[in-house]
Structure 1
Amino acid sequence: MREPGLTTEAAKQVVAEKCVFPKVTENSIKDHIKAARYLADGSTTICILEMYNGFKVIGHSTPADIRNFNEEVGRRFAFDNAFRQLWQLEGYLLRDKLWSNQGQSYQGGL
């Protein structure tokens, strides 16, 4: 596997310093989260993130060997799994708002 030359932290710094146009940020997503709920059964941890508008996403985490199960670690990984889903959804929402602000409108429908 060949990873990109830029580290995640370096990429975040570039975005913070040079990307001045509208964008989705970690904080902008967190500002929309109303609650985080967790369920654990001794091997799997589930995180339910509820947004203020009532929408929910679900993340999960399970170790390959249940002897490695740690509920706090599971909560972190399950939260991160759910949070990643919100990046795409919030990105789509922002792009749609920007597009609409340019005077565009939908021509068809589902």
Structure 2
Amino acid sequence: MNDQQIEQEIQAKGLTAPRVTPADIEANIASEHYFTAGNGRDGDGAISIGDDRFGAKTGVALSLLTFCVLVLRNGFTVTGESACASPENFDAELGRKIARQNAISKVWPLMGYALKERLAADAQ
């Protein structure tokens, strides 16, 4: 069951207490950034440590690891990753979607905590 399906079920059951919704999550994202580990390795200021005994295999491996960085409205960053085991199955768009979904899954508890803090303050 995905986030949208869960949201539909919550609405269908008439659950109306304060909560974090998928729309809240999306509204809290200021920007999103995608790159592979290979992009990061090749970027300015990148540092590689250790002997590269796998040579070209390392480059291939790094090109199969996709990162998504979500910058939230308050400036906090959350990351998600997607790794592909077989180079033949690598699809950049799919990797970005999976990495984003993994980053989104880290935003839920952060926003849930912030909501609980607000509710607790209002109850005092």
| SS class of match (1:35) | strand
Please show how residues 26-41 of structure 1 align to structure 2 within 5 Å. 26-40=22-36, 41=38
Identity %: 32
Between structure 1 and structure 2, the one with the greater Rg is 2
Aligned-partner residue type, residue 58 of structure 1: T
TM-aligned CA deviation for residue 10 of structure 1:
5.4
Please name the residue that 1:16 is paired with: 11
TM-score (norm 2): 0.72
Larger relative CO (CA 8 A, sep 6+): 1 or 2? 2
* TM-align CA RMSD: 1.5
| SS class of match (1:37) | strand
TM-aligned CA deviation for residue 67 of structure 1:
2.0
TM-aligned CA deviation for residue 11 of structure 1:
3.7
In the alignment of these two chains, the number of paired residues is: 97
1:91 to 112, 115, 121: 112
Q: Identify the structure with the greater helix proportion.
A: 2
Closer/same/farther in 2, CA of residues 76 and 20 from structure 1, 3 Å limit: same
Where do 5+ consecutive residues of structure 2 fail to align? 39-62
